[in-house]
Amino acid sequence: MELVYTGKTKNVFKLEDGNYLLKFKDDVTGENGVFDPGANTVGLTIEGAGLAGLRLTDFFYSQLNAQGVPTHFIEANFEDATLKVRPATVFGKGLEVICRFKAVGSFLRRYGAYATEGQPLDAFVEVTLKDDDRLDPPISADALHMLGILTLEEYAILKERTIEISKFVAAELEKKGLTLYDIKLEFGRDANTGEILLIDEISGGNMRAYKGDTYIEPLELEKIMLAE
């Protein structure tokens, strides 16, 4: 089993059958020891964060697969905190697709002249480049197309899927009395068929969940969501 990538919160191994294994770490993104799903740096290590992220990922992806949403998910192994996934290539050097239900974070930092904190945004989708050096700049459909990162047809699929998946996650949270403020998804192309797949994890590490006005930390989110 070959280590092919060391990420901020996950390591990636290549399996002999052509699939990949994602090993979830206990490192979470943030700054100065404070968790922030929008941050580009590892802010702190929380014991159990990796397994909690994997359990939530399993919870959401199992249902998405059952609903027929194309994803890279094959199976989770809680013993060693790994996720087996299908091989996929990212768009360009990687995109983050953000779906916003409430105005917070970078949306407010950019568009605060036109939006107030917590304002409803009705599943608003935007795309940013994964580019730490350039602070993950937002990018339009036209620019993605012009720079050869994806086609306008692929963008339309990405946007539609993002809304569908994010609304499903929001509905699951709502069943537990939680509100989804925003969520960050990643997509790629199936390495064999070219089909657009949902990739990466879906966990507390890439969403902002609130109970009333109180932000719910990733580990707490896992406990609430997976409680019987």
Q: Which residues bind a second copy (CB under 8 A)?
A: 92-93, 109-115, 121-122, 124-126, 129, 131, 133-134, 137-143, 146-149
Neighbour tally for 153: CB within 10 Å: 9
Cβ closest to a second copy, residue 73 vs residue 91: 91
Contact 201, 76 (CB under 8 A): no
CA distance 56 to 114: 34
Quick one: 95 or 216, whose CB is closer to a second copy? Answer: 95
Greatest CA separation for the chain: 52
Q: How far is the CB of 95 from a second copy (least distance, A)?
A: 11
Beta-bridge partners for 45: 27
CB of 218 to a second copy, least distance (A): 28
Instruction: Name residues whose C-beta falls within 8 Å of residue 171's C-beta, 6 or more positions apart in sequence.
Output: none
Nearer to a second copy, 58 or 126 (CB): 126
Q: Which letter does DSSP use for residue 25 in this model?
A: -
Count of other CB atoms within 10 angstroms of residue 197: 23
Nearest-approach distance from CB 103 to a second copy, in angstroms: 10
Report yes or no: 48 and 219 within 8 Å, Cβ to Cβ. Answer: yes
For a second copy, give the closer residue by CB, 63 or 140: 140
* CA distances, 181 to each of 57, 120, 126 (Å): 18, 9, 14
Per-residue exposure over 74-83, b if at least 16 CB sit within 10 Å of its own CB, e if not: eebeeeebbb
Nearer residue to a second copy within complex by CB, 162 or 203: 162
Nearest distance, CB of residue 165 and a second copy, angstroms: 17
**Residue 115: CB minimum distance to a second copy, A:** 6
Strand duo 179-190 + 214-216: pairing: unpaired
Q: How far is the CB of 207 from a second copy (least distance, A)?
A: 20
- In this complex, which beta carbon is closest to a second copy, that of residue 103 or of residue 178? 103
